[in-house]
Amino acid sequence: MSWHCIYRHVLTSPLLFLIFFLASFFYASIYYYYIRLIPTDDPRWAKPEWPPVETVVNNGSLADEDVDCASSEDCLHMDIWAPANSQEKKLPVIIWTYGGGFTGGSKSQNTREGLFNLSTKFVFVAYNYRLGVTGLANGPTFLHEGGTSNTALWDVQQAFQWTKKYINAFGGDPDQITLLRFAGHAEQSFDRAYVMSPGFQFWQNVSAAAYCGGGHLDCMRKVDFTTLANAATDTVDTYTYQFQPRVEGDFVADTYEANLYQKRFNFSGPLVITHEQHEANSAAWSGVNTTEDVSTYLRIFFPAITDDVINKLLELYPESEYSSPGLRFSDMKQSFDLTAHNLAVTQALGNKTWNAMVALGAATHGTNQNYYWYSTYTLSSSTSATGGAGNSSSNSTAGTPSGGMGAGPGSTSVNATIAVMMQKYLMSFVLTGNLNTKWSSDKLVQLMLNDTFYLSTDDLAMERTLLWNQALWY
């Protein structure tokens, strides 16, 4: 792959700068645009704002292309990949939203070359959003003093709004946007979604560790980024706290379950939602060592749960099926975190979904990422990939961008044939809104991604999952 760097101003929109690359890519040309969206003057715990129109062409020195929000607050950047001569076209758009438990990940953690090898008739967008304490802060004085909770989610919305408004300048169709995700009253800014392995502060503790007694916002905004991040990490480690968006009555109006069950959302499908076979149940849950511990931890996670519901769960997850109490509880938690939520969104969308389970290798969290991003092409001359898209027998390692995939503990060894099949289902959905329109005549209800593709009984409708969806602990 050869690269040529060209600097060019393309459109007068709210950009700080634009870098324009041309890649001689396979047998076609793909253009790469790097955009930096300006945050507010005082960006920490504030909503992102539309920046002023900028017409100055950047010479490539204003920002690091691979910046991530775990290491810098000046990180709200976006990448756009578009086919050559696409400006007058209306091509489908993929917007990649990385995972990482709201503490890690970046827009660079993808290798989209394999997708462009299948088709160059789409536009690819990737962006950053704030992480950790700067993306999900909340607390008793926080909102009263002018802070914005869930800024990570506001960043996501801003990226989608920018894309919907300006993607036509790159040949993208704002009415054909697919959200690609490894997981209120916000407006709908995409038309279809493909969700992979969807996946959780403590303001006073962090502010005390950052030497801001009382947690006042003006003090916390003056703390340097490294000190703040370390204080948050120490608090997470001490209290086994998980970062996740919190209900604040604004962007997040209510809990996941309540919004879905009461149909308070602005998306009508279609949707592909997948999970790994052993997403969270392959390791025993720490601290759960006896049968009594299983019941204790159910009460910890669901304080309002009653004894009759616990007894029913113990019956549906019989002790004889597990080698340890910790594995028994892990399986319960996987059912609640994944299959129960998958069923809830499936029912909320009137079954306008494809539900897929990945059973590849260890099938732990992140395994599917190595398949969707499979590529025999690399972006750096210092790395090399093996295997080929048409190789049906070899296990091969996907070429990864600088910094690695960050996809989780899943295996990095992939079967090339299966990887390309998975990419074809994804690209068929992106290009047509249907998994089966291109490259396959199969009509699937639940897709099992294994050494072969086959149909299986719907595991979302099991008695276990149905019980979780009754939300009997509220």
Pick from 401, 371, 396, 375: which is nearest to 386 by CA?
396
Indicate whether 233 pLDDT > 50.
yes
pLDDT range class, residue 258, cuts 50, 70, 90: confident
- In angstroms, rounded to a whole number, what is the distance separating the alpha carbons of residues 452 and 459? 18
| Residue-level pLDDT at 407 | 39
Pick from 29, 22, 25, 24: which is nearest to 5 by CA?
22
The dihedrals phi and psi of 109, each to the nearest 5 degrees, come to -85, 65
- In angstroms, rounded to a whole number, what is the distance separating the alpha carbons of residues 286 and 268? 39
Q: For the chain, give percent helix, strand, coil, nearest 5.
A: 30, 15, 55
pLDDT range class, residue 396, cuts 50, 70, 90: very low
- The domain defined by 2-468 folds into Rossmann fold (3.40.50)
**pLDDT mean over 235-257:** 73
| Residue-level pLDDT at 311 | 95
| Residue-level pLDDT at 296 | 94
| Residue-level pLDDT at 411 | 44
pLDDT tens across 366-376, in order?
888 888 888 87
**pLDDT mean over 430-459:** 64
Indicate whether 324 pLDDT > 90.
yes
Pick from 272, 261, 462: which is nearest to 348 by CA?
261
pLDDT tens across 2-22, in order?
222 222 323 333 333 343 433
| Residue-level pLDDT at 25 | 37
- In angstroms, rounded to a whole number, what is the distance separating the alpha carbons of residues 410 and 367? 4
Q: Do residues 387 and 394 lie in contact, with contact meaning Cβ atoms separated by under 8 Å?
A: yes
pLDDT range class, residue 194, cuts 50, 70, 90: confident
Q: Do residues 145 and 42 lie in contact, with contact meaning Cβ atoms separated by under 8 Å?
A: no
- In angstroms, rounded to a whole number, what is the distance separating the alpha carbons of residues 351 and 85? 38
pLDDT range class, residue 185, cuts 50, 70, 90: very low
Q: Decide which of 164 and 384 is more confident.
A: 164
pLDDT range class, residue 53, cuts 50, 70, 90: low
Q: Do residues 416 and 396 lie in contact, with contact meaning Cβ atoms separated by under 8 Å?
A: yes
Indicate whether 462 pLDDT > 70.
yes
Pick from 166, 213, 221, 163: which is nearest to 45 by CA?
221
Q: In sequence order, which ranges of 222-364 are alpha helices (DSSP H)?
A: 225-239, 256-261, 291-301, 307-316, 325-334, 340-348
Indicate whether 201 pLDDT > 70.
no
Beta strands in 334-461 (DSSP E): 353-358, 395-397, 413-415, 446-449, 453-455
pLDDT range class, residue 90, cuts 50, 70, 90: very high
Q: What is the mean pLDDT of the chain?
A: 75
Q: Which residues, 6 or more positions from 461, have their beta carbon under 8 angstroms from its beta carbon?
A: 343
| Residue-level pLDDT at 331 | 93
Residue 364: enclosing H or E segment and its boundaries?
A: none
Indicate whether 36 pLDDT > 70.
no
**pLDDT mean over 372-392:** 49
Indicate whether 456 pLDDT > 60.
yes
| CB neighbourhood size of 245 (10 A) | 18
Radius of gyration of the chain (CA): 23
pLDDT range class, residue 67, cuts 50, 70, 90: confident
**pLDDT mean over 453-473:** 74
Q: Do residues 235 and 205 lie in contact, with contact meaning Cβ atoms separated by under 8 Å?
A: yes
Burial class (CB in 10 A: 0-12, 13-18, 19+), 5: exposed
Residue 203: enclosing H or E segment and its boundaries?
A: helix 203-209
Reply yes or no: is the peptide bond before residue 270 cis, omega within 30 of 0. Answer: yes
Indicate whether 170 pLDDT > 80.
yes
pLDDT tens across 276-308, in order?
888 888 899 989 999 999 999 999 888 889 999
Q: Which of 205-209, 249-253, 321-325, 359-363 has the lowest mean pLDDT?
A: 249-253
Domain coordinates in residue numbering, the chain: 2-468
| Residue-level pLDDT at 27 | 34
Q: Do residues 281 and 327 lie in contact, with contact meaning Cβ atoms separated by under 8 Å?
A: yes
- In angstroms, rounded to a whole number, what is the distance separating the alpha carbons of residues 472 and 458? 23
pLDDT range class, residue 91, cuts 50, 70, 90: very high
Q: What is the DSSP letter of 310?
A: H
